[in-house]
Amino acid sequence: MVACHCKDCQRQTGSAFLTVFAFPKGTVTLTGDPQIYTRPGGTTGMPLHRVFCPDCGSSIMMYRDDTNRINITAGTLDDTSFFKPTANIYCEAKQEWVPLAPDMRCYSLQGE
């Protein structure tokens, strides 16, 4: 469970960061007809697939082909009471006005 501060996530959310948690690919099933927006992402430039609801535009999840995980956006869940990020990623891109909790790890992912 992480808070991502990369510029792509800031642009997608229109906010300072995106909260996600990872699952192994193949362990989550989506129903309906989600849409996918793909563009180079992160510091690698690898295609990042962002899955969203075509009816309301809500971000559902994201994944890259070169990893074995999918990242579900925490805000899509009906009950988020269990969600507590344990780390911040892309900290080098965080907004200056966002304080980081001292008990959370912070990773700079330049050069992954």
What are the residue ranges spanned by the domains of the chain? 2-107
> What is residue 38's predicted lDDT score, i.e. its pLDDT?
95
Q: What is the rounded CA–CA span in Å between residue 2 and residue 84? A: 8
pTM for the whole structure: 0.84
Q: What is the rounded CA–CA span in Å between residue 77 and residue 70? A: 15
CATH class of the domain defined by 2-107 = alpha beta
> What is residue 111's predicted lDDT score, i.e. its pLDDT?
46
The separation between CA 92 and the C-alpha centre of its own chain, rounded to angstroms, equals 16
What DSSP string runs through 24-77? Answer: ETTS----S--EEEEEE-TTT--EEEEEE-TTT--EEEEEETTSSEEEEEGGGS
Sign of CA dihedral 23, 26, 31, 35: positive
Pairing of strands 2-4, 87-89: parallel
pLDDT by position in tens, the chain (length 112) = 999 999 989 998 999 999 999 999 999 888 899 999 999 876 678 899 999 999 999 999 999 999 999 999 998 888 999 999 999 999 999 999 999 999 999 998 764 4
> What is residue 43's predicted lDDT score, i.e. its pLDDT?
67
Residue 72 structure tokens: 């579900």
